[in-house]
């Protein structure tokens, strides 16, 4: 598994974490009873997605 593929998996999982957190926050019947857990998922997923996007952009620039 090369570095670019690992970064793409990380980007996908971060976006998935953000989407799950957003769904739990907006849903009428949340999965968890705590209201701060979906917000933590949204923030962590967004930070991870931004970091992985920047890392993927750097990898693609060095390949050219």
Q: What is the pLDDT of residue 44?
A: 95
What pLDDT, on the 0 to 100 scale, is given for residue 10?
95
CA distances from 5 to 13, 19, 28, 43 (A): 12, 21, 36, 23
In this prediction, residue 8 carries a pLDDT of 94
Predicted model pTM: 0.82
Number of domains observed in the structure of the chain: 1
> For residue range 1-56, what is the model confidence (pLDDT) as tens digits?
798 899 999 999 999 999 999 988 888 666 666 778 888 999 999 999 999 999 99
String of DSSP letters for 1-64: --HHHHHHHHHHHHHHHHHHHHHHHH-SS-SSS-SHHHHHHHHHHHHHHHHHHHHHHHHHHHH-
Q: Where in the sequence is the domain holding 40, given as residue range(s)?
A: 3-63
């Amino acid at each position: 598994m090369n570095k670019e593929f690992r970064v793409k998996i990380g980007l996908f999982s971060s976006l998935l974490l953000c989407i799950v957190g957003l769904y739990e926050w907006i849903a009428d019947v949340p999965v968890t009873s705590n209201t701060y857990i979906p917000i933590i998922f949204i923030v962590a997923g967004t930070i991870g997605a931004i970091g992985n996007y920047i890392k993927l952009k750097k990898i693609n620039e060095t390949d050219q």
